[in-house]
Structure 1
Amino acid sequence: MTRERSQQTTSLRPRHTSAAVAIALLACLPSMSRADEGGVSYWLPGRFGSLAAVPAVPGWSMAAVYYHTTVEASGAVAAARQIQIGRIPANVAVSLGASLSAQGDLVFLNPTYTFATPVLGGQLAIGVIGLFGRSSASVDGTLTAALGPLAVTRTGFIQDSITSVGDLYPQATLKWNAGVHNFMTYLTGDVPVGAYSSTRLANLGIGHAAIDGGGGYTYFNPAAGQEFSAVAGFTYNFKNHDTNYQNGIDFHVDWGMSQFLSKQFFVGFVGYGYQQITDDFGQHPILGAFRSRVLGIGPQAGFLFPVGDMQGYLNLKAYGEFAAENRPSGWNAWLTFSISPMAPASTLTPTKHRIVK
């Protein structure tokens, strides 16, 4: 069951009368997920971080993540949203000078079970990520539509928000350890059950299924307290049947590096890169391939501590985005708290701590 609340307000000041263009302007803002179709993709850059490939302690674990993002965009990103939902016909020439902004405050819950019995010589873990939160969006600008000799210009402000649940993200990982070297492979995807409407400005679901897979590596030297991790993958997006639109294939890489100042505390940097590598299908010709791209980098700090007979972990990381193309960009921050089984005292070293990104 979904508890959902959506609010939308619109203020328009006509220069020339045209109800069709006024309606078209209502769709000028993409959903909060950010990339590909109108700025919307499955993969959330920054999902993986430091110690990503280090095997965990077998048993149940739980991670809770508070995520905040603030982004802005203009031009083709805003125009794409209204074209893709059919608010502007393909034979209408569009010029959009608009400034859009969006914010999201989300809570992710990630229960995971790590198996003690090896699988292919590695450690198997399965889990699922669910989310709840609020997304808000607004756009302020001018739209000009021309059909033959007829031209209409509208200016306006649109605002929308929703508080509800998002899609589900099942995930499986397989990890191997060889001294200071750690390797992993993963498979995840999107089950589109979250709050979504193709006619709404702010959404918490993406409206289509997706599958994503890849691999990663972590160098972790407990004696020197040094760590570096990188995880890369590809996303295949299925068609959004509400808009008859299909995103291209996306490539992404998340990385983190840290220095332990003690056995419990570390500081470092995190970053990501995101690049769409194949064209979208179903877009208006003026947008071309409409491939998305963004880079991000920022600081992080982590702290390990006991919680009774369990292991607690707290991490704060933040990213500033740059070099964005065909997607909103800005900044985001992640606050993670996780609890997992404590390693046996006879084997208790930093490599045995369960870290949930």
Structure 2
Amino acid sequence: MGKAVVALAAISMATAPMAPVAWADEGGTSFWLPGQFGSFAALPSAPGWSLPMMYYHASANQSANKTTQRGGRITAGLDAKVDMLFLLPTYVFEKPFLGGQASLGVGGALMSMDAGIDATLTGPRGGTLSGSESDSVTAGSDLYTQGIVKWNKGVHNYMAYTMLGTPIGAYKEERLINPGTNHWSLDGGGGYTYFDKKNEFSAVLGFTYNFENDDTDYQNGVDAHLDWGASRFISESTHVGLVGYFYQQVSGDSGSGARLGDYKSSVTAIGPQIGHFFAVDKAKWYVNLKGYYEFDAENRPEGWNLWVSLLIPLGSQ
């Protein structure tokens, strides 16, 4: 596989940026975006700088007889769309750390979001309102910091990671949907990749702890998430396969503002993927296209989402 194998070094960064939006928890916004880790997640990387870029589109809806809390309101019948362009400049260190290879990335996103509801059941001060309402916003996300350590043992690869969400993104309590979470978040976990130069399988398990949103006195519960990907090279430069994720809140939402009580959400998804290496001057760039169809959702909207990731190597240190 030659130079393409070297280029695999940072694919996990290209296919796993931090996520400023997901359909879960308060207001339909959570720190973790299911599916952000994919194939080759634990594969070690070439030292130096790279620029992972990702375009994300999602469309999701929720039945009018299902309720969700958004800011101070209880709403029903959500229909939402999100478009996001995410950048995560990343540096991979040459010097070993804990016997493995460390990397650090910091980034954020520009987001365009549209949402509509069929009814607002409860107003901020306890009043009721029926009818429809829509909202849209284009703004920046929170700031996301990602640290990863990877270890290689032949065809077996292992990783540990942590992510921090800093609440600097656009947020207004009265909006139906927000680019920012308005609270700090901390996520961590580990993963595995099997790669024999022809076949690949990856899985990453993590947990998110969310701090309280001071504007709404609402604290999202602890989220558990498992992202996976499997693929096979069909040529020197192209691989195809499947991706999927499982998302489950393991503890309910809480705080004086959590008017729905011990609220938990979950969802499952699966879909296809294709990745391709191509030369730009003397460097190997990588592009990946993957899509997810969601099902078996509980207490959250479900739909489909599309990811287009591009990895741009910026040279060694």
Cα shift at 1:154: 4.6
Q: Which residue of 1 aligns with 2:96?
A: 118
Once residues 167 and 284 of structure 1 are traced to their aligned partners in structure 2, the CA distance between those partners, rounded to angstroms, is 22
Q: Within 5 Å, which residues of 2 pair with 1:341-352?
A: none
Once residues 62 and 257 of structure 2 are traced to their aligned partners in structure 1, the CA distance between those partners, rounded to angstroms, is 19
Once residues 297 and 280 of structure 1 are traced to their aligned partners in structure 2, the CA distance between those partners, rounded to angstroms, is 26
Q: Which residue of 2 aligns with 1:202?
A: 177
Is this contact kept in 2: 1:76–1:287, CA < 8 A?
no
Deviations along 1:87-143, whole A, 9 cap, x unmatched?
Answer: 57xxxxxxx7x4220000000001100011111110000001210020110112474
Is this contact kept in 1: 2:48–2:315, CA < 8 A?
no
Q: Which residue of 2 aligns with 1:58?
A: 47
Q: 1:266/1:334 Cα in 2 relative to 1: closer, same or farther (>3 Å)?
A: same
Cα shift at 1:341: 6.0
Once residues 91 and 182 of structure 2 are traced to their aligned partners in structure 1, the CA distance between those partners, rounded to angstroms, is 28
TM-score normalized with structure 1 length? 0.78
Deviations along 1:14-34, whole A, 9 cap, x unmatched?
Answer: xxxxxxxxxxxxxxxxx9532
Once residues 209 and 65 of structure 2 are traced to their aligned partners in structure 1, the CA distance between those partners, rounded to angstroms, is 23
Cα shift at 1:37: 1.6
Is this contact kept in 2: 1:279–1:290, CA < 8 A?
yes
Contiguous gaps of at least 5 residues in structure 2: 1-19
State the identity %.
51
Q: CA RMSD in A?
A: 2.3
Cα shift at 1:157: 1.7
SS of aligned partner of 2:131: strand
Cα shift at 1:40: 2.2
The one-letter code matched in structure 2 to 1:191 is T
The one-letter code matched in structure 2 to 1:67 is Y
Is this contact kept in 2: 1:38–1:327, CA < 8 A?
no
Q: How many residues are matched?
A: 295
Q: Which residue of 2 aligns with 1:265?
A: 238
Q: Within 5 Å, which residues of 2 pair with 1:1-357?
A: 33-74=22-63, 78-81=67-70, 85-87=71-73, 98-141=76-119, 143=121, 154-222=129-197, 225-282=198-255, 287-340=260-313
TM-score normalized with structure 2 length? 0.87
The one-letter code matched in structure 2 to 1:72 is N
Contiguous gaps of at least 5 residues in structure 1: 1-30, 89-95, 146-151, 344-357
Is this contact kept in 1: 2:52–2:309, CA < 8 A?
yes
The one-letter code matched in structure 1 to 2:264 is R
Deviations along 1:211-247, whole A, 9 cap, x unmatched?
Answer: 000000000011xx10000001010000100101111
Is this contact kept in 2: 1:52–1:218, CA < 8 A?
yes
